[in-house]
Structure 1
């Protein structure tokens, strides 16, 4: 049986909505949990400090434990439940910009919603030729999954959840040689 989600879990909430909710509290150390907009299955721990909302990504390992994504080279700490993670970060000097002080609880109970799924991309050209179908690689190592997610976040800064197709093909290189005198400035026609 899955553990109950903490009362500070708000489910699907945009970054802007989160900033509005925490901004209305206007209390340093106020925090809430919400679903990540960019990584399916990940959570965000959002903490308010001096009119700024700091967001930390939480991932669930294959063994069910939770961890806060840390900067490279730092030791990860795993927790059995979200409540354990929250309890840990209520202590001072645990790596957050400010320790957790006040949970911002959701006002209504969450409805059970099916997990959102990203559309499956169509087969790539070389796979179509061989009749193979695109399959997402099954990651067994949590660190490899985190690295892959971080790489995807760096590559795609938008919050859209659509597949963008194969990478664009490289443009042909042209061997144009222009001397400075061959450049002409083109101005728009006056209206």
Structure 2
């Protein structure tokens, strides 16, 4: 089964490239998903608000101590949840920044695409959004 990543998933774009993409959109609530540069297999939900890009980590396992859990069945469910106001992000998700080319996927991520899309996602209401197996 082929994995259908959300159009807002940009793969291996860097933090700087992400900031440029969101800055071009320049709308509060613009967002995209990208691969984490520091956590292997992790994703980042990046949200634009008042010329600042806020980054929330999305993980398949682990979470910071003392952080409450919220689970999501898939990335689309996570996005729908955070489109609502007052869900713990700097601002709610309003404008998806869609990729125009296929996402840049790291080889390790490519191996686990199908299982990653079928995991349960968790939000921590902090700077981390954790995805659990």
What corresponds to 1:83 in structure 2? 76
The count of residues paired between Structure 1 and Structure 2 equals 110
5+ long unaligned stretches in structure 2: 110-127, 129-133
| Separation (CA, whole Å) in 2 of partners of 1:112 and 1:31 | 19
Separation of aligned partners in 1, 2:90 and 2:42: 20
Give the conservation status (yes or no) of the 8 Å contact 2:12–2:105. no
Q: Structure 1 residue 2: deviation in Å?
A: 6.2
Residue 42 to residue 99, structure 1, CA distance change in 2 (3 Å): same
**Contact 1:10-1:34 at 8 Å conserved across structures:** yes
Q: How far does residue 110 in structure 1 lie from its aligned partner after superposition?
A: 3.1
**Secondary structure class of the residue paired with 1:56:** strand
CA shift for structure 1 position 3: 4.2
Residues 46 and 54, structure 1, Cα contact 8 Å, conserved in 2: yes
Q: Which runs of 4+ in 1 moved over 4 A?
A: none
Within a 5 Å distance, the mapping from 1:1-191 to structure 2 comes to 1=1, 3-61=3-61, 72-110=65-103, 114-115=107-108
Bigger Cα Rg? 1
Deviation, 1:108, is 1.2
How high is the TM-score relative to the length of structure 1? 0.53
Q: C-alpha separation between the residues in 2 aligned to 1:38 and 1:24?
A: 25
Answer 1 or 2: higher relative contact order, Cα 8 Å, separation at least 6.
Answer: 2
Q: Between Structure 1 and Structure 2, which shows a larger proportion of strand residues?
A: 2
Q: Is the 8 A contact 2:33 2:46 kept in 1?
A: yes
8 Å CA contact 1:3–1:81 kept in 2: the answer is no
Structure 1 stretches of 5 or more lacking a match?
63-68, 117-149, 151-191
SS of match in other structure, 2:23: helix
